[in-house]
Amino acid sequence: MKVLANDGIANSGVLALESAGYKVDLTTVAQEQLIDYINNNDIAVLLVRSATKVRKDIIDNCASLKIIGRGGVGMDNIDVEYAKSKGLHVINTPAASSHSVAELVFAHLFGMVRFLHDSNRNMPLDGDSKFKDLKKAYAKGAELKGKTLGVLGFGRIGQATAKVALAVGMKVIAYDPFIDTADLTLDFYDGQTVTFKINTISKDDVLAQSDFVTLHVPAQKDYVMASKEFNMMKDGACLVNAARGGVIDEVALVAALESGKISNAALDVFENEPAPEVQLLMNPNLSLTPHIGAATNEAQERIGSELASQIIEILG
């Protein structure tokens, strides 16, 4: 039985599948050629990440398909319910990349409060001639310890991010329309654990009370953050989006940055991927990464292993 990992899969997944008797195809097939490739090669399992889209055309025209798998959490690039209605299994790996995304959020946060995102642009250009000027410009950093992190969306990734915040010494508040309370257990290297109980509050209260806001919400029809929400935030607060492009009104974000309402923001995802707007790319108050939240070796190994285990369990 053949598995096409169109957006790649870690070696852990390849080895597990091959050991179970599956043939793994690591070819990257262009979207418009995918139907023919699946049919010509009798592909039973199609694995994707965020690049490949699995819509009704593929589902309707690829009779050999039995499983569609997403390496990651969000499934907005797959017509999930339609696939299930046609008898296909749809799988993903909701827990595998949570900690990787959480660490990226904090890479951005630590960088922004000490101006690393800007310093790393300017030091190579002017570090030898304007060292003292740059030192003065970046001399008013802040600590995260003791500050309040607001988490919008308190599922697996939101909770993983909250755990890092608690370990740093931050206060955590959260909003989620489907979760009232969560027990977060921090596991330490020597076997000790500490559990925190977090009761969610309203979105408006999170925005009003937070020094930093991080988004962990699925793709949706309306903006989660637009002008109204920015105006609710503390003056000078920071925002991080490592969730999905399109949940922030990017025009409103730039306006909030230019007015000083928001001091800094970090974006790992964009409305127009893979071609983010130039006004975002050139803004000195933005810390930017190219959608790499789950792109750690550890997360990819976990994703590969989890996908393989689910495929083997379903198909035997």
User: Which residue in the list 108, 244, 250, 302 is annotated as catalytic?
Assistant: 244
Residue 265, SS3 per DSSP: strand
To the query of whether residue 273 is one of the catalytic residues in this protein, the response is: yes
Contact partners, residue 175, CB within 8 Å, separation at least 6: 150, 151, 152, 153, 154, 200, 201, 202, 203, 205, 206
Instruction: Compute CA distances 85 → 81, 258, 261, whole Å.
Output: 6, 48, 47
Q: Give the Cβ contact number of residue 137 at 10 Å.
A: 13
Q: How far apart are CA 69 and CA 54, in angstroms?
A: 10
To the query of whether residue 291 is one of the catalytic residues in this protein, the response is: yes
- DSSP 8-state assignment for residue 32: G
The answer to whether 63 and 22 are in contact (CB under 8 A) is no
Q: How far apart are CA 5 and CA 24, in angstroms?
A: 7
Q: How far apart are CA 105 and CA 190, in angstroms?
A: 25
Structure tokens at 242: 């490592």
At residue 26's C-alpha, the angle toward residues 289 and 24, to 5°, is 130
User: Which residue in the list 250, 291, 302, 306 is annotated as catalytic?
Assistant: 291
Q: Give the Cβ contact number of residue 178 at 10 Å.
A: 8
Strand order in the sheet with 23-25: 23-25, 2-5, 43-48, 67-70, 89-92
To the query of whether residue 250 is one of the catalytic residues in this protein, the response is: no
Across 8-19, b (16+ Cβ under 10 Å) vs e yields bbbebbbebbee
Residue 163, SS3 per DSSP: helix
CA dihedral 202, 160, 92, 28 (to 10 degrees): 120
- The residues carrying an active-site annotation are 244, 273, 291
